[in-house]
């Protein structure tokens, strides 16, 4: 019975050691990923500022199209409303 308990203790120790090694590798990867995200955040600001004119242009076009659709829909609704009143 002592041999079985000793084998179980050795297997549990090896499993725990493997778990700890994997945890250390994972934490190192988290550190590496955190540094990469920090670098990206610091350098992305200037890159994103270059896109401001594009974003502004897209917003303007979107507003123009949006307003045109609503004016057109209102005109059609008004026309249909007048036709239904005359009947």
Query: What is the biggest distance separating any 2 CA atoms in the chain, rounded to whole angstroms?
Result: 102
Q: Are residues 74 and 85 in the same domain?
A: yes
Looking at the structure, do residues 10 and 35 belong to the same domain, yes or no?
Answer: yes
**pTM (predicted TM-score):** 0.47
Please check whether residues 71 and 60 belong to one and the same domain: yes
Residue pLDDT, tens place only, 25-84 = 999 999 999 999 988 888 877 777 777 788 888 888 888 777 777 777 777 778 777 777
State the Cα angle at 48 between 65 and 43, rounded to 5°.
Answer: 170
DSSP 8-state code for residue 1: -
User: Which structural domain range is residue 39 located in?
Assistant: 1-49
Assess whether 43 and 82 both reside in one domain. Answer: no
Helices (H), the chain: 2-49, 52-86
């Amino acid at each position: 019975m002592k041999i079985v308990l000793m084998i179980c203790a050795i297997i549990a120790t090896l499993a725990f050691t493997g778990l700890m090694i994997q945890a250390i590798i994972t934490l190192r990867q988290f550190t590496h990923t955190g540094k990469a995200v920090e670098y990206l955040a610091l350098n992305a600001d200037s890159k994103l500022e270059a896109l401001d004119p594009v974003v502004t242009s897209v917003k303007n076009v979107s507003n123009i199209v949006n307003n045109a659709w609503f004016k057109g829909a209102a005109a059609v609704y008004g026309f249909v409303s007048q036709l239904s009143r005359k009947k």
